[in-house]
Structure 1
Amino acid sequence: MKRVLTEYTFRTDRVDRPLRLAVASDIHSSAFDDVLEEFGRCDAVLVPGDLVDRHRKNNRNALRFLEVAPDYAPVFLSIGNHERKYKHREEFLQRVRESRVNLLDNESTGFHGIRLGGLSSVRGDVPDKAFLDRFEKEEGYRLLMCHHPEMYRDYVSGRNIDLTLCGHAHGGQIQIAGHGLYAPGQGLFPKLTHGLYDSGKMLLSRGMTNGAKPRIPRIGNPCELIILNITPA
């Protein structure tokens, strides 16, 4: 599967050395060996949800990712809707906790001057606002993984959080003149599909693979791995 590499750079006075981070959203238990070399050039790999695919009969690639990816860089995973709805959810999350992958389930951690948080997908419309209240008060450059861009729009935008990484929209599946046709959670003609929004406070990935079901083709909308550079101001 062909993927494009898209780079973004942000400057802040709250890191003391440049950080190169791979943002690998919406892997959906697909093959990933083509990006391992790029992972090895990064300080960390961030997976803002949907490492598994709840529609697959097995998730061998997701389980292999837990074993292999940390050989190349530290890995941080937040919970997307596929992890939440997966019928083997608890078993899978236990495998994550037993692996070298760092699970951020409405939690945060420090990483070279960054406060890295994971806001988990929820069954209803309201995420863990108590976690967000705590997170926006933490010291350092606040970088949040939040799988759903519509959750960012409704609950994160306007908070004291420097940058939020989202996925889920799959780039709108079919792009015509820069506009997407369909996105889960937004329906037809979504407004949030890829790139930067909210004055650069939200970065939305097109996703690493085509996770739509039924398998709608992607047209004018390549899968992507994002490289996020955070450098001292």
Structure 2
Amino acid sequence: MVLFISCISLLLVLLVVYMSIEAKRTIVIDHQVTFANFPETFGSLRVFFISDIHQRTITDRLLHKVKEPVDFVVIGGDLTEKGVPLSRVLHNIKQLKKLGPVYFVWGNNDYEVDYHELDALLLSENVVILDNTAVKLESDQGEHIHLLGVDDTSKKRADLSLALQDCDEDGFKMLISHNPSIIHKVKEEDQIDFILSGHTHGGQIRFFGLGPYELGGFKEMKGTKLFVSNGYGTTALPLRLGARAETHYLVISRTK
């Protein structure tokens, strides 16, 4: 009996160690994403997407894993949370800026800190905050890509209609929302082509393939392509199982 209990205890310790390692993975997943209506004159759009950083620190090791140039970086919310020093947030922003210009949307945990201080820090570092707004990218030939961002849906701050007001009728529309539940507010007539989200952590801890949320990945819904990341950090417990930490290098182009 003592031997049995000792074996179970050892297995539990090993499992926790493994889960801790999974939570600290430094992975960049490459994605080739094509759309029939992507503006051909842009060639391709290269985006580094990272969501749910929480308490983690962005190291040079992560940056070195991004082998190709980046047009811009998107932080998909939960850049921070309660207890994370502002100095670490500043460090993470400066690290990501080495890859390219940075765009940010608010996540629910970002509101656990003094969001006025966080807002000021982001603005001082020239991070573009997409809080129910949009920016327009234009090719030399005059074709458009609209990058929209909404505030956090769980805090009832998201207003997609406001972001859409910043868009022309023509152009490729790419929406950033921390919470993928924004899909329920999207209408087909909004003509949103691509959505990037995080928040769910892929369930973070999954036993026998089951977790509180689905694993991250791509879905086709309401005439749009939705991508949900497992995220880079963790919340509550610094552990992962069956949903390892990840970041993403997306190359978006026109379907050939």
TM (norm. structure 1) is 0.83
Establish whether residue 3 from structure 1 lines up as the match of residue 19 from structure 2: no
Larger radius of gyration between Structure 1 and Structure 2? 2
Equivalent position amino acid for 1:207 in 2: G
1:168: Cα distance to partner? 0.4
1:44: Cα distance to partner? 1.2
1:97: Cα distance to partner? 1.1
Where is the helix percentage greater, Structure 1 or Structure 2?
A: 2
Aligned to 1:43: 71
1:114: Cα distance to partner? 2.1
Helix, strand or coil at the partner of 2:173:
strand
> How far apart, CA to CA, are the structure 2 residues paired with 1:40 and 1:32?
18
> Deviation digits for residues 28-84 of structure 1, max 9, x if unmatched?
14111122231863221111111112x22513221112233223211111111122x
Q: Which consecutive unaligned segments of at least 5 residues does structure 1 have?
A: 183-189
Equivalent position amino acid for 1:149 in 2: P
> Deviation digits for residues 92-134 of structure 1, max 9, x if unmatched?
1011112122111111112354211111015644621422542
Where is the strand percentage greater, Structure 1 or Structure 2?
A: 1
Whether the aligned pair in 2 keeps the contact of 1:3 and 1:222 (CA below 8 Å) is no
**Residue 123 and residue 148 in structure 1: after superposition, are their counterparts in 2 closer, same or farther (change >3 A)?**
closer
> Deviation digits for residues 110-166 of structure 1, max 9, x if unmatched?
23542111110156446214225425654321111100112x232126441001101
> Percent same amino acid among aligned pairs?
24
Aligned to 1:206: 230
> How far apart, CA to CA, are the structure 1 residues paired with 2:227 and 2:205?
19
Equivalent position amino acid for 2:34 in 1: R
Aligned to 2:91: 64
Aligned to 1:149: 180
* Equivalent of 2:125 in 85, 99, 124: 99
Aligned to 1:186: none
Establish whether residue 165 from structure 1 lines up as the match of residue 196 from structure 2: yes
* Equivalent of 1:108 in 123, 134, 144: 134
Establish whether residue 27 from structure 1 lines up as the match of residue 59 from structure 2: no
**Residue 135 and residue 100 in structure 1: after superposition, are their counterparts in 2 closer, same or farther (change >3 A)?**
closer
